[in-house]
């Protein structure tokens, strides 16, 4: 299969734009732009640790499976999401 026949269904301008976008994405990745994991705790999605429950804490963060096993209330703590 020749190079010409492989790209018969793809516009050359589209391929050039795609290549430019790939280069831009590589530059941004090298600069550290984008989501990153923070050392600070927050309400992100990645689990970080537990701590004892205190009255007034948000009950959405109680680790209910742990409570069912141990009958002790703990809060789940999460890494804060950061943007680079």
The string of pLDDT tens digits covering residues 17-28 is: 878 878 777 776
Are 19 and 58 in a shared domain? no
pLDDT at 73 over 80: yes
Are 28 and 69 in a shared domain? no
Distance CA 58, CA 40 (A): 18
Are 23 and 62 in a shared domain? no
Higher model confidence: residue 14 or residue 71? 71
pLDDT at 84 over 60: no
pLDDT at 9 over 70: yes
Distance CA 45, CA 30 (A): 25
Are 82 and 41 in a shared domain? yes
Mean of pLDDT values over 58-81: 88
Its sign, for the CA torsion 35, 39, 42, 48, is positive
The string of pLDDT tens digits covering residues 33-47 is: 555 544 455 555 788
Are 45 and 27 in a shared domain? no
What is the number of structural domains in the chain?
Answer: 2
Range(s) of the domain holding residue 43: 36-84
């Amino acid at each position: 299969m020749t190079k010409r026949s492989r790209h018969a269904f793809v516009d050359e301008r589209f391929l050039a734009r795609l290549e430019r976008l790939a280069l831009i994405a590589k530059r941004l990745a090298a600069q550290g732009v984008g989501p990153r994991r923070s050392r600070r705790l927050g309400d992100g999605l990645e689990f970080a640790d537990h701590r004892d429950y205190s009255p007034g804490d948000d009950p959405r963060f109680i680790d209910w499976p742990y409570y069912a096993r141990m009958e002790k209330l703990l809060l789940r703590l999460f890494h804060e999401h950061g943007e680079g």
